[in-house]
Amino acid sequence: MNTSIPTLTIQDVFKIYKEGDVETVALRGATLTVERGAFVAIQGRSGSGKSTLMNLIGGLAVPSAGRIIINDTDLLRLNEGQRAMFRRQHIGIVFQAENLIPFLTASENVALPMTLEGHHNAYRRAKSLLIEVGLGERLHHRPNQLSGGERQRVAIAVALANEPDLLLADELTGELDSATSDSIMALLKRLNVERGLTLIVVTHNPSVAVRAERQVHISDGQLREEMVVAYA
């Protein structure tokens, strides 16, 4: 695997929210390159623009200015439908707000993106993903029959369903106890090392951040690389 290929390039990105006369500049010239197979932790205070950045990388919103390029595809050149398809094929997203479908069971939620992509064996693979995130006993529960942490793990399985190149996780371990959080991070790290899954994780949790090889801070709408302190 050639690890020098950038999987993601964020170039001088601005995001300005306008509501009536009020303008909020959430990103102000954010720039970052992420190599294929990297594991990047994004940190910053509440309101610093972390979720905004993740939404833009995931193609769920478009920048006010600047470019976002993933695997040679400039997201701004895609229309909304093309962006949705690109996202389904290349990007896994686990966001702060859960987006499970309430009337589908855990395994149906995980199988859905695979079914949409025409995969065979969607249910078999959904089951094995749910077992991987520790939910083998919860396959047929609907979201309202699961705990917050369990729902989050279903959301992780959904995000991994189509074997994304890039996984975006916004505070994914926020609601989990430390043992569950550690096992989820160990799973992601394994996918990172074994399959070259590129990981971008927003976290306030130092024990998650230390697993990353790059730590990026966001403040004043800009991104700044932190030196990772190596310790024995």
List residues binding ligand ATP (CB under 6 A).
17, 19, 24, 26, 44, 46-52
Q: In angstroms, what is the minimal distance from the CB of 54 to ligand ATP? A: 8
Q: In angstroms, what is the minimal distance from the CB of 55 to ligand ATP? A: 8
Give the one entry of Mg ion, ligand ATP, none that residue 47 binds, where binding means its C-beta sits below a cut-off of 5 to 8 angstroms depending on kind. Answer: ligand ATP
Q: In angstroms, what is the minimal distance from the CB of 208 to Mg ion? A: 15
Give the one entry of Mg ion, ligand ATP, none that residue 46 binds, where binding means its C-beta sits below a cut-off of 5 to 8 angstroms depending on kind. Answer: ligand ATP
Distance of CA 212 to the CA centre of its chain: 14
- The one-letter code for the residue type at 150 is E
Contact flag: residue 162 with Mg ion (CB under 5 A):
no
Give the one entry of Mg ion, ligand ATP, none that residue 19 binds, where binding means its C-beta sits below a cut-off of 5 to 8 angstroms depending on kind. Answer: ligand ATP
Q: How many residues contact Mg ion, by CB under 5 A? A: 1
Q: Name the residue nearer to ligand ATP (CB basis): 17 or 103.
A: 17
Q: How far is CA 40 from CA 7, 35, 57, 203, in A?
A: 12, 10, 13, 10
Q: In angstroms, what is the minimal distance from the CB of 51 to Mg ion? A: 3
The binder of Mg ion chosen from 7, 51, 105, 203 (CB under 5 A): 51
Give the one entry of ligand ATP, Mg ion, none that residue 44 binds, where binding means its C-beta sits below a cut-off of 5 to 8 angstroms depending on kind. Answer: ligand ATP
Contact flag: residue 107 with Mg ion (CB under 5 A):
no
> How much is the CA Rg of the chain, to the nearest whole Å?
17
Q: Name the residue nearer to ligand ATP (CB basis): 126 or 202.
A: 202
Contact flag: residue 52 with Mg ion (CB under 5 A):
no
Q: In angstroms, what is the minimal distance from the CB of 124 to Mg ion? A: 34
Residue with the CB atom nearest Mg ion in the bound state:
51
